[in-house]
């Protein structure tokens, strides 16, 4: 019994020691580079004290020409086939609504397009140039705003003539 206890304590000690070494190593590393640890574009919450994320901004935000180009690319790359002709959803979720599972910032939407998502969103980063992805982001963010190019028109139900025999 006592022996088992001893083993256990030794094991715990080793564990603590290795942890201390690891933590120390990380500290040293961060201090050496002089920069906060790279965290990319996090989708989940970032634990610990608040850290400024410094996410990249969209170079085409509010650029009406880029929005129109983004609209064209949205159809061209078949985004419209999955997310709806004007982003209302279908095989993929609506982009018009306020729900953003993977983050709503320009950078997050960029990452969703470039890296893909596990429910079936393809990773377009190797297929679509970066500037085109930013234009797509600009178009998507414009949906339901006065800036949206080619917005969907919800027509009144037409009076369909009864087809002849």
Which phi and psi angles does 98 have, rounded to 5°?
Answer: -85, 10
CB of 87 closer than 8 Å to CB of 143: yes
Q: Give yes or no for residue 38 binding other proteins (CB under 8 A).
A: no
The answer to whether the Cα torsion of 42, 43, 49, 51 is positive or negative is positive
Place of tokens 């064209």: 72
CB of 116 closer than 8 Å to CB of 43: no
Q: Is 79 helix (H, G, I), strand (E, B) or coil?
A: helix
Q: Which range of residues in 8-16, 19-27, 55-63, 149-157 is near other proteins by CB under 8 A?
A: 149-157
99-128: contacts with other proteins (CB under 8 A): 99, 118-122, 127
Q: Give yes or no for residue 44 binding other proteins (CB under 8 A).
A: no
Instruction: Identify the residue among 15, 81, 130, 131 touching other proteins (CB under 8 A).
Output: 81
Q: Which range of residues in 40-48, 66-74, 88-96, 102-110 is near other proteins by CB under 8 A?
A: 88-96
Based on CB atoms, which residue is closest to other proteins, 84 or 149?
A: 84
C-alpha pair distances (Å), 115 with each of 61, 102, 112, 123, 151: 21, 11, 6, 4, 27
47-76: contacts with other proteins (CB under 8 A): 75-76
Q: Give yes or no for residue 154 binding other proteins (CB under 8 A).
A: yes
- The binding site for other proteins (CB under 8 A) comprises 75-78, 80-82, 84-94, 96-97, 99, 118-122, 127, 144, 152-155, 157-164
């Amino acid at each position: 019994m006592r022996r088992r206890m001893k083993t256990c304590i030794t094991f715990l000690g080793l564990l603590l020691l290795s942890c201390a070494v690891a933590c120390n190593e990380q500290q040293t590393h961060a201090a050496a580079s002089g920069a906060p640890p790279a965290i990319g574009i996090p989708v989940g919450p970032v634990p610990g004290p608040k850290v400024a994320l410094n996410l990249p901004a969209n170079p085409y935000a509010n650029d009406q020409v880029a929005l129109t180009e983004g609209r064209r690319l949205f159809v061209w790359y078949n985004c419209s086939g999955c997310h709806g002709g004007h982003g209302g959803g279908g095989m993929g979720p609506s982009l018009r609504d306020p729900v953003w599972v993977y983050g709503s910032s320009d950078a997050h939407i960029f990452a969703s397009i470039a890296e893909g998502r596990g429910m079936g969103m393809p990773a377009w980063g190797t297929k679509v140039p970066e500037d085109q992805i930013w234009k797509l982001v600009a178009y998507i963010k414009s949906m339901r705003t006065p800036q949206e190019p080619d917005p969907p028109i919800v027509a009144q139900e037409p009076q369909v003539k009864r087809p002849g025999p």
